[in-house]
Chain A
Amino acid sequence: MTVTDTPVQVGSPDPAATFDCRQDFAQELAALAREDDRVVAVCNDSVGSSNLTAFREEFPDRLVNVGIAEQDLVGVGAGLANAGLIPFVCAAAPFLTGRATEQIKADVAYSQRHVVLCGQSPGMAYGELGPTHHSIEDLSWMRAVAGLPVVVPADPQQTRAAVRWAAQLGRGSYLRIPRFKVPVVSQESDVFAPGRAVVVREGHDVTLVAVGSMVSRAVWAADALAADGISARVLNMAFVEPLDRDAVLAAARETAGIVTVEEATVSGGLGAAVASVVAQEHPCPMRILGVENAFAPTGSASFLLDHFGLTTEGVVAAAQDVVGRARS
C-alpha cells in the first residue's frame, strides 16, 4: 500500500466535538496491561496529570511512582525494561524530554531498551503556566536522538494506535500525548506505521503537513483554500521520525510547495525534517509554521496558538504565499 492509496477523508473535523487524548492513552494502556502482564506504568508524581488514577486502582502493583525525579524516572524505566517488563514512562513532556534528555539518549536509545516515553500535555497545553511548562522543544530534542521514533498522535484513535504500536516495538520510542482538545481527524481504515504519513485530504496545488493539534486546523485551512479555488493536500505526519520521505517528495513534485504546521519551535522539528528532505532531494517553496525563537507571553493554550499564528487563517495565508511564489 502506498501513501496515495490510503483512503481520503472527505469531511471536516467537527470543532464542537473535541477530546483530551490523555483519556484514550490511559484506557488503551489499561487494556494493554490486561492483555500483557509485562506492561507497567512509571510516573513522576503525575498519576493525576498522566490520567493514571484508574490504572493504579486496577493494577496497584504495576504503577511505579518515583516521585519528582525525572532522570531517575527514565533510568528506572530502562532498568525495568532490563528486567523484562514493558514500562510506559509518563511525565509532563517538557520535563520528561528536557530534564532527562541524556537518560533518554544513553539509557533508552543507545542502550536499545524497550521503554515507551510518554510526554504528556505537550506544546502549549500548559499555556498560563508559562514557557517553563511549554513543551515546544521536545520534537527537536527527541528527533536528534538516534534510533528513537518520535510519534505525535493527532486524535483519540491515533493515540490508541500509537500506544499499541509502541508496546510491541521492542525498543524505545517517544509518544507526544495531546492534552489540548482535538477533534477526530483519522479513520478506522488509516494505516498507522513508522515512516507512513496519513493522507487526510487529497489535493494538487499545495501540501499542508501537520502533526498533533495542528492537523484539524490544516484540514479546515484546506476547506477555506478550496473556497478560494486552491486544492490543498493534507498530510498527518504522525511519525516525525522516521519521516515519510516518499510522501514529502511526492508533495514536492506534485504540488506547488509545502506548508508545515506544528505546535512546537521551528528549530529542528517537523518543518526542519521536511525541509531537509525537500532541500536535498527536490527543492520547492516552503513555509514552516511554529514558534519562532520566542518564549510565549501569558495566556491559555488556544490564545497562544492564535498569538503565534498557528490558526486556520495562518495556514491559509502561508499556503497562499507558497502558491503565489510558485506561480510567480
Chain B
Amino acid sequence: MSSLTAPLTEDVSAEPRALAADAGAAAAYLEAVARHRTLGGEELARALGRVATGVRRDVITTIQGAGLGHVGGDLSVTDILVTAYWHTLTLDPTRPDLPGRDRFVLSKGHCAAALYSTLASAGFFPRAELATFAQPMSPLNGHPNRVKVPGVETNTGPLGHGFPVATGCALGAKLLGEDYRTIVVLGDGEMQEGSNWEAAMTAAHYELHDLTAVVDRNRLQQGARTEDTKTLEPLHDKWTSFGWETRRIDGHDHLALVEAMGPSTTGKPVAIVADTVKGKGVSFMEDRVEWHHKVPTDEQVVAALEELSA
C-alpha cells in the first residue's frame, strides 16, 4: 500500500498574526541576564525588583485596556516569572524555538497577562502589543497560545495541563541526552487537579532532576481561600512524599527565588512552594479574593500605578 504524503485537505485553524521579537529589547535583555548572573545580594535583588515593578505596571494597564484578566494571580506570580526569565532561564528571544533552549511552562495559564508582560519585557515581541491583549484577532489570547506567541511552549488555560507537558519536555531532554532545564509554574488551587499528581509521580519515577515545579502559593483560588475550598497543606510534605526535593520560600524574595531555582542537589526533580500574596504590590488588591479577576477602575489604576512607581 502506498503511503501518500499529501497534506490535509483542510486546516481549520485560523491563521494567526505572527509576532516577532523586538531585536533591541531582546539584546538588552540578553545583556541584562548575563549581568544579573554576575551579581549577587542587594544589587541583584534591586535589578530584578525594577523589572518586576515594570511588569506589574504592564499587568495593570494591560488588564485595564482589555477589560478582563486575572490580576490577583498575575501579581502574585510576577516575581517568580521575572526571576526565572531575568536570571535563571537560558533563552534567546530572537530564536524562541532553538532546540536546546530551556523550557518554561505557565501551567496557571489564566495569568497570561503576567506571562505576556514578562515575555514583552524580554523582547520576545514588542511591548506595544500588550495593548492588544484579548482584543479581536489579537495573538494575545486570554490564555497563552504557543502558535501565536513566541516563547510560549504549550497552550494552557484549563488547569492541570502544563505540568504533565513540562514533565514530557524534561523527559524528552533525558531521552535525547540534552541538558536543558524545564521550569513549570503552577497555581496552588491548581494542585487540586489530579493530573498534576500524576505528573508529580512520573517526574519522580524518571528522576527528572532538570525539572523544577514552582507553586505560586497565594492561598486564594477563584471562589475562596484554598484551605476553605479543599485543603492543600501540608503542601511541602506532599511534594516531598511524592519523591521531590522540596524547597519552601518567600515567593516575592528574588534572592530566595534565585537560590531555590538552582539545580537539584539530590538527583530528584525540585519543587518550590513559593509563599506569595495574591495582588502583591497593590495594597487594596492584596489577599482579597475578589481580585481574582476583577478589572480595576480608572481611579484604581491610577492608585495602583502610584504604588508601583517606587
The answer to whether B164 touches A76 (Cβ under 8 A) is yes
CA distance A72 to B208 in the complex (A): 15
Q: Which residue of B lies closest to A74 (CB)?
A: B164
Q: Does A84 contact B (CB under 8 A)?
A: yes
Chain B residues whose C-beta falls within 8 Å of the C-beta of A81 in the assembled complex? 168
The answer to whether A82 touches B175 (Cβ under 8 A) is no
The answer to whether B4 touches A193 (Cβ under 8 A) is yes
Q: Does A157 contact B (CB under 8 A)?
A: yes
B143, chain A: closest CB distance, angstroms = 9
The answer to whether A72 touches B202 (Cβ under 8 A) is yes
Q: Does A98 contact B (CB under 8 A)?
A: no
The answer to whether B202 touches A111 (Cβ under 8 A) is no
* Known contacts A76-B171, A84-B99, A242 near B10 by CB under 8 Å: yes
Interface size class of chain B, counting residues whose CB lies under 8 Å from the partner chain: 35 or more
The answer to whether B175 touches A40 (Cβ under 8 A) is yes
* Known contacts A75-B164, A75-B165, A106-B158, A149 near B198 by CB under 8 Å: no
The answer to whether B176 touches A79 (Cβ under 8 A) is no
Q: Which of B164-185 contact A (CB under 8 A)?
A: 164-173, 175-176, 178
Q: Does A294 contact B (CB under 8 A)?
A: no
The answer to whether B161 touches A106 (Cβ under 8 A) is yes
The answer to whether B164 touches A111 (Cβ under 8 A) is no
CA distance A107 to B171 in the complex (A): 16
Chain A residues whose C-beta falls within 8 Å of the C-beta of B11 in the assembled complex? 147
**Which of B155, B169, B205 has the most A CB atoms < 10 Å from its CB?**
B155
Q: Which residue of A lies closest to B162 (CB)?
A: A75
The answer to whether B153 touches A82 (Cβ under 8 A) is yes
Chain B residues whose C-beta falls within 8 Å of the C-beta of A165 in the assembled complex? 3-5
Q: Does A313 contact B (CB under 8 A)?
A: no
The answer to whether B194 touches A71 (Cβ under 8 A) is yes
Q: Does B160 contact A (CB under 8 A)?
A: yes
The answer to whether A110 touches B3 (Cβ under 8 A) is no
Chain B residues whose C-beta falls within 8 Å of the C-beta of A71 in the assembled complex? 160, 164, 194-195, 198
Interface size class of chain A, counting residues whose CB lies under 8 Å from the partner chain: 35 or more
Q: Which residue of B lies closest to A102 (CB)?
A: B158
Q: Does A112 contact B (CB under 8 A)?
A: yes
CA distance A191 to B198 in the complex (A): 41
CA distance A190 to B3 in the complex (A): 9
CA distance A188 to B3 in the complex (A): 10
Q: Does B128 contact A (CB under 8 A)?
A: no
Q: Does A164 contact B (CB under 8 A)?
A: yes
The answer to whether B1 touches A111 (Cβ under 8 A) is no
* Known contacts A158-B1, A168-B5, A79 near B202 by CB under 8 Å: no
Sample 25 A-B pairs with CB under 8 A, ordered by A number: A61-B175, A72-B167, A72-B201, A75-B163, A76-B168, A76-B202, A80-B171, A82-B154, A82-B165, A106-B157, A106-B161, A107-B154, A107-B165, A111-B146, A111-B155, A112-B13, A146-B12, A147-B13, A168-B5, A191-B2, A193-B4, A194-B6, A195-B10, A196-B6, A242-B8
Interface residues of A (CB under 8 A from B): 40, 61-62, 64, 66-67, 69, 71-72, 74-85, 87, 102-103, 106-107, 110-113, 146-147, 149, 157-158, 160-161, 164-165, 168, 186-196, 242
